[in-house]
């Protein structure tokens, strides 16, 4: 983490509460590879929910690999902390997390950012990660679903052993100093921490939903979850099947037929577990067309726009970028130049331009279309949700 982040006035100690685990008597101490942890299971931002490694301490090592299946449930204000490993000499001996709201994958050592990868990490869908770090060659590889990022870094020659490893909280003091803005609300499945560099084939197999149980045992995993890990705060233990993690991704949409500005629309979508719809393929664009068609009477304005899209226009570069991640749009359906000075995009439903995109003012008020990659826990009528959120 950065020096600025270290000076946020975090407490030097934190009082921890014991996690309450409701387990049937049929559950054994040994869990299958489907074992999972849900951190901040009640959804409340807190510095109390965490998993501490209580098994054999890490040795000094020149190679590490961290693999996990994870599903973000909500994003926190500053960082979504996956792994925090601290020693007496360095509370950031190894930090692995995701910057928010950019969702960039980052690795820190001390006050130095040594790895950054521009991954897509939306909430409420499963992601498959293997991170391989070689201290000797100062090289790294990030395997993220079907994408691979490689690079080099300047840093130590080895990872110092004998420290404390925590999932879900950033240590600003050894074993504590947590703040909720650098915590994690997510489901973690089949977590593995190796003191070696897994091979590219092993990493690809893992992130392609073919995790091997025949390779050398990780130094840390979830096999002996209740004895090897000390769970604190709101943490749930469960089982997630590979069929859920690896199911074909699909997107579905929900229209909120009340007029809002773009910032209001983005806040609403993220508040109910989604994002402003940002189609990445012609098929998704057609799905939006089908979703908004029943709401033309409530949503169609004089210019032909129906809903906002989750992109921002950059007149200087004449590109479109995702409003939340900053990723450049690979699929576009503009009807005119985006060099108009208008930074937001509307989805058109006129006779000649059904499903096309038009640059509009972000303060313009039109309806909201949220996209989801997984079912939200909310079971609501759109109008009721809008009313409840506006009143809260």
CA distances, 382 to each of 152, 276, 378 (Å):
47, 15, 10
Give the span between the Cα atoms of 292 and 6, in whole angstroms. 46
Q: In terms of domains, do 8 and 153 share one?
A: yes
How many Å from the N-terminal Cα to the C-terminal Cα in the chain? 33
Q: Which of 213, 245, 277 is the last residue of a domain?
A: 245
Do 38 and 168 fall within a single domain? yes
Find residue 65's DSSP bridge partners: 132, 194
Q: What are the pLDDT digits (tens) for 350-365?
A: 777 788 999 999 999 9
Spatial separation of the C-alpha atoms in residues 272 and 63, rounded to whole Å: 40
Sign of the CA dihedral 124, 130, 135, 138? negative
Residue 11's pLDDT band, with cuts at 50, 70 and 90, is very low
Check if the beta carbon of residue 85 is closer than 8 Å to that of residue 34.
Answer: no
pLDDT surpassing 90 at residue 96: yes
> Of the residues 216, 245, 274, which one is the last residue of a structural domain?
245
pLDDT at 208 over 70: yes
Are both 231 and 266 inside the same structural domain?
Answer: no
Whether residue 227 is found in the same domain as residue 268: no
Query: Where does the pLDDT of residue 251 fall: very low under 50, low under 70, confident under 90, or very high at 90 and above?
Result: confident
Tell me: pLDDT of 331 over 60: yes
- Do 264 and 153 have their domain in common? no
Report how many domains make up the chain.
2
How far is residue 319's CA from residue 334's CA, in Å, rounded to a whole number? 11
Shared domain for 63 and 204, answered yes or no, is yes
Q: Strands 366-372 and 185-194, how do they pair?
A: unpaired
Residue the block writes with tokens 């060659």: 137
Query: Are residues 145 and 256 located together in one domain of the fold?
Result: no
Residue bearing the bigger pLDDT, 114 or 337: 114
| Residue 13 vs residue 241, higher pLDDT | 241
CA torsion sign for 91, 97, 100, 106 is positive
Q: Which of 197, 228, 245 is the last residue of a domain?
A: 245
Question: Are 17 and 115 in a shared domain?
Answer: yes
Distance (Å, whole) CA 311 – CA 327: 9
Query: Minimal CA–CA distance to 164: which of 177, 154, 153, 151?
Result: 177
Closest among 208, 79, 72 to 148, alpha carbons compared: 208
CA-CA distance, 388 to 289, in Å (whole number)? 27
Of 90, 48, 258, 265, residue with least CA distance to 174: 90
Q: What is the pLDDT of residues 273-321, one digit of tens each?
A: 889 999 988 878 888 888 898 889 899 988 889 999 999 988 777 789 9
Looking at the structure, do residues 214 and 328 belong to the same domain, yes or no?
A: no
The CATH number of whichever domain residue 89 belongs to comes to 2.60.120.200
The verdict on 205 and 233 lying in the same domain is yes
Say what the pTM is: 0.62
Is residue 28 predicted with pLDDT exceeding 50? no
Residue 379 above 60 pLDDT?
A: no
Q: Which tokens hold the place of 201? A: 């084939």
How confident is residue 25, by pLDDT bands cut at 50, 70 and 90? very low
Q: Are residues 236 and 273 in the same domain?
A: no
pLDDT at position 390, please? Answer: 34
Domain that holds residue 284: 252-391
Same domain, 99 and 224: yes
pLDDT at 21: 41
CATH number at 345 reads: 3.10.100.10
Q: Give every strand in the sheet of 50-53, ordered side by side.
A: 112-117, 105-109, 94-99, 79-86, 164-167, 50-53, 229-232
- pLDDT score recorded for residue 330: 86
| pLDDT value at residue 185 | 94
């Amino acid at each position: 983490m950065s020096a600025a982040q270290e000076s946020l006035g975090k407490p030097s100690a934190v009082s921890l509460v014991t996690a309450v685990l409701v387990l049937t008597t049929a559950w054994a101490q040994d869990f299958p590879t489907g074992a999972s942890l849900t951190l901040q299971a009640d959804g409340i931002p807190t510095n109390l929910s965490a998993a501490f490694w209580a098994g054999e301490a890490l040795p000094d090592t020149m190679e590490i690999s961290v693999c996990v299946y994870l599903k973000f449930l909500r994003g926190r204000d500053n960082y979504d902390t996956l792994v925090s490993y601290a020693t007496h000499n360095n509370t950031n001996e190894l930090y692995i997390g995701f910057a928010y709201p950019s969702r960039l994958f980052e690795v820190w050592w001390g006050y130095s950012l040594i790895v950054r990868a521009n991954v897509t990490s939306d909430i409420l869908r499963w992601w498959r990660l293997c991170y391989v770090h070689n201290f000797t060659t100062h090289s790294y590889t990030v395997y993220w679903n079907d994408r691979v990022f490689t690079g080099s870094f300047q840093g130590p020659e080895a990872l110092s052993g004998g420290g404390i490893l925590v999932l879900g909280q950033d240590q600003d003091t050894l074993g504590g100093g947590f703040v909720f803005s650098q915590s994690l609300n997510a489901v973690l499945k089949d977590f593995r921490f190796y003191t070696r560099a897994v091979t590219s084939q092993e990493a690809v197999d893992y992130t392609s939903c073919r995790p091997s149980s025949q390779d050398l045992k990780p130094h840390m995993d979830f096999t002996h979850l209740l004895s090897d890990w000390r769970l604190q705060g709101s943490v749930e233990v469960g089982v997630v099947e590979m069929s859920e993690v690896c199911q074909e991704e699909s997107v579905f949409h929900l229209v909120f037929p009340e007029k809002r500005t773009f910032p209001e629309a983005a806040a609403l979508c993220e508040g109910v577990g989604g994002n402003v719809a940002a189609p990445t393929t012609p098929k998704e664009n057609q799905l939006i067309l089908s979703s908004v068609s029943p709401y033309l009477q409530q949503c169609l304005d004089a210019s032909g726009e129906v809903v906002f899209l989750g992109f921002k226009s950059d007149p200087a570069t004449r590109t479109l970028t995702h409003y939340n991640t900053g990723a450049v749009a690979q699929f576009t359906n503009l009807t005119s130049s985006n060099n108009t000075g208008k930074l937001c995009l509307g989805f058109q439903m006129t006779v000649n331009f059904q499903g096309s995109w038009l640059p509009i003012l972000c303060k313009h008020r039109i309806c909201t279309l949220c996209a989801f990659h997984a079912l939200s826990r909310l079971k609501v009528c759109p109008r009721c949700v809008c009313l409840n959120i506006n009143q809260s």
